[in-house]
Structure 1
């Protein structure tokens, strides 16, 4: 199989770290609704797995053990568990066709609904963050699909924060027939599979979340880089899409994408 690589999105986040966030599943959007079977990142570990902890899916750059405040050329984009095209048993890749809309799903973990000010401070993530929409930037080995805010305008964790309470009223009942919001709304990054991808190839996407500390913060007079990444593969097919059961039907109760999912795919097409 041929393999095409690209940068999926650089997500800019301002918020309080209560727990980390990573790309947990990928889903096709058709006519505004989620359709078909979910796909999962490389080396995926479900939150319901025995002994699960955030470190199993969290990959931070620069690594804490490095003692560095800046990323450099030694920082590999994918976590050790995601540096080969491996899929965990029962958690397959997404299958999609050219021109398909895809939602990259994740939990906000308080980053959106329990915010504190952490001003933006953009820094290059050596190479891939220099990729551009036309494929001419950086190493030219991939392209930027989109850059979006972590907050899709709908998602929320169930908590007592004002944002969560307001969104529970505005976007209630992700589970049909549920009398009130007891299941959180997942966030999504929306992208379109390019038209020129090769049928029967594997398309690799890199979800890169940016959450830097600004200069002048306590103990960090020059600020600090902070990036989190998730690496996933998508099998490209001419269709039709397989309709096998979702192995985690309880994982994400949403049935529809955010209302502006198609326009979000062009969000900040060249952020750097």
Structure 2
């Protein structure tokens, strides 16, 4: 029994170490699907460095924390410590956008889409890389908790009613891919279907970010920031050996503010990432994205998932 428990702990640790994604960049989407105007970035964003010294924990926020698996609790804070208040890194401003605009929230797939099973040596991971939920609020709080936000609903009447669920979409946008030395069948097929060459370098390759496409509410206030919570739900199913018997929660979040303005520029400009994804258009179905799991609370009703109830002897 002790050996089985130790094995489960080791598997949990390896799985957490292999998984990571966060929001890299935001863009407005024009009526024809093109990215338009200046790019925007999450709170306190740190770009990947050219010298390889980048620390992914500067942006990555995992819940429950790796030291506290396997399930979230009511005290787990939603945002990374650097993202709990409205603040931007000096070189990475907020996205400027309009009420009712469509925006793309972009992130690297990191193998969770194109590597079979969602990653090397992973078990029990959901299809399509799990679900991304985007919530919006005019009343963000530094002490925001994940459990509270997961209760927000499309009509704004869920939970404490401070925000609403704006969209639920598969993590996999059916276009994105990672460039790997051990190219997978899916990543190679997507690379050939949607080439993403570096500007001025015909025949070159660049990884292609995934995106979550969100329409902002029409009642956001011009002249005020609006807060978005990007929540990637990527659980492990129960009864998946050698995984945990009762499954495990796994969430990654990015906390974002956008400035609401009256008019947008027409061109594509602004601060770029050091390794900027050259793609300039959204996925073709950006207006009609869906998810296999549309309810943020669906996990709570999944058979066998969750902390087992204690029984008295």
Q: Same fold (TM over 0.5)?
A: yes
Task: Tell me the SS of whatever aligns to 1:143.
Answer: strand
Task: Tell me the SS of whatever aligns to 2:232.
Answer: strand
Aligned length: 256
Matches within 5 A, 1:62-211: 62-65=64-67, 67-116=68-117, 117-120=123-126, 125-159=146-180, 160-176=183-199, 178-180=201-203, 182-211=205-234
More helix by percentage: 2
- Give TM-score scaled by structure 2 length: 0.75
User: Is 1:158–1:184's contact at 8 Å kept on the other side of the alignment?
Assistant: yes
Is structure 2 residue 12 aligned with structure 1 residue 27? no
* Distance in 1 of aligned mates of 2:284 and 2:243: 42
> What's the offset of the Cα at 1:36?
1.1
Q: Name which of 242, 247, 271 aligns with 1:246.
A: 271
Task: Tell me the SS of whatever aligns to 1:233.
Answer: strand
| Bigger shift: residues 247-256 or 193-202 | 247-256
Q: 1:225 to 1:56 in 2, by over 3 A?
A: same
> What's the offset of the Cα at 1:181?
5.1
* Distance in 1 of aligned mates of 2:102 and 2:112: 25
Superimposed CA distance per residue, residues 204-247 of structure 1 (whole angstroms, 9 cap, x where no aligned partner): 00000111111123251111111110000000011134865334
* Distance in 1 of aligned mates of 2:272 and 2:208: 19
User: Is 1:36–1:242's contact at 8 Å kept on the other side of the alignment?
Assistant: yes
- Give TM-score scaled by structure 1 length: 0.86
Question: Hey, what does 1:5 align to over in structure 2?
Answer: none
Superimposed CA distance per residue, residues 104-142 of structure 1 (whole angstroms, 9 cap, x where no aligned partner): 0011011111121524499x9522111110001112110
RMSD: 2.6
> What's the offset of the Cα at 1:98?
0.6
User: Is 2:48–2:274's contact at 8 Å kept on the other side of the alignment?
Assistant: no
Question: Hey, what does 1:55 align to over in structure 2?
Answer: 57
Q: 1:91 to 1:242 in 2, by over 3 A?
A: farther
Consecutive unaligned residues of structure 2, counting only runs of 5 or more, are 1-14, 118-122, 132-144, 298-313
Superimposed CA distance per residue, residues 134-187 of structure 1 (whole angstroms, 9 cap, x where no aligned partner): 001112110000011111010001131000111111111343564435201111
Q: Which has the higher contact order (CA 8 A, sep 6+)?
A: 1
Q: 1:19 to 1:60 in 2, by over 3 A?
A: closer
* Distance in 2 of aligned mates of 1:64 and 1:271: 21
| Structure label with greater radius of gyration | 2
* Distance in 1 of aligned mates of 2:201 and 2:59: 30
* Distance in 1 of aligned mates of 2:235 and 2:209: 23
Task: Tell me the SS of whatever aligns to 1:207.
Answer: strand
User: Is 1:190–1:265's contact at 8 Å kept on the other side of the alignment?
Assistant: no
